[in-house]
Structure 1
Amino acid sequence: MDEKDIENLMDKFDKSSMKEFKVTGDDGTDIYFSKLEHAPVQNMAPTTSSNTVSVTNENASKSKASQNDSTKIKAPLVGIVYFAPSPEKPVYKNVGDHVKKGETVCVIEAMKVINEVKSPISGTITKQVANDGDMVEYDQPIFEVEED
């Protein structure tokens, strides 16, 4: 995949309503585009190609969250949610637990990559909306939190 192809993909992605896009070229080049405010950091095994490109659209529109949205911890990506780091370990947070801003509350597995979900607010967890092992969509509520 050459520079012109990548620029063409970037232009089309920027004009589209898609939030995320990933493609692997015939030559092994991995390209990932995201319009997410906080694009997930993925720890990927090194590839044989050194042509990996990651682009985040910083000009993505930021809408103000309504009062109800500020009390929810939402999925930052599509995947399977797990509330414990592994089956034999305890859950990150239970209903009734206090959570601090930036603290891990669960993980989401997407494309064989485990992504931590961190709380954007501090408060007490009042409700667990999703169940362990559920497939969650982007921006789907996982927890409801009563802010401090």
Structure 2
Amino acid sequence: MDEKDIENLMDKFDKSSMKEFKVTGDDGTDIYFSKLEHAPVQNVAPAASSNAASTKNENASSNQAAQSSAAKIKAPLVGIVYFAPSPEKPVYKNVGDHVKKGETVCVIEAMKVINEVKSPISGTITKQVANDGDMVEYDQPIFEVEED
């Protein structure tokens, strides 16, 4: 499934009366939409993966969690992340910048609506995890921050 297919699904889901929708693409990609207030978050590996691959991913994620004790600014919704208000304007925050609680650090476009992402913490941005224009999932880390 490409980005256009996903955007079309998001648009149709938004206009529908459905509360939840799940689809599996030909490439094994699972997509889940929900209008429920506290929707379950599912991280499903592609159907073609083996147990060895999933074990490797679990070990990698546990090692990554152990190595990175930094606080994270996470995506509050599913959409496309942008780090500047428009292409000709400067980015909200760069790595090394200080951010205050409540300050806008990026925006996420979801169904043609731009949503500001505000920092829940104060500190210095140490790492940008997502790239400009990436599709991000709910609760996916966008920045790592060393808290004050």
Gaps of 5+ in 2: 1-12, 18-34, 40-64
- Aligned counterparts, 1:1-148, within 5 A: 24-25=16-17, 33-35=36-38, 71-148=71-148
Please, what TM-score do these two structures have when normalized by structure 2? Answer: 0.57
Name segments (4+ residues, structure 1) moved above 6 Å.
none
Query: Structure 1: how far apart are the matches of 2:143 and 2:100?
Result: 14
Matched residues, number: 95
What RMSD, in angstroms, separates the aligned Cα atoms of the two structures? 2.7
Aligned AA (1:127): K
- Secondary structure of the structure 2 residue equivalent to 1:34: coil
Query: Structure 1: how far apart are the matches of 2:86 and 2:14?
Result: 27
Query: Structure 1: how far apart are the matches of 2:69 and 2:101?
Result: 15
Aligned AA (2:144): E
Identity %: 85
Please, what TM-score do these two structures have when normalized by structure 1? Answer: 0.57
Deviation at 1:24, TM superposition (A): 3.9
- Secondary structure of the structure 1 residue equivalent to 2:88: coil
Q: Deviations along 1:31-52, whole A, 9 cap, x unmatched?
A: x64238xxxxxxxxxxxxxxxx
User: Larger helix proportion, structure 1 or 2?
Assistant: 2
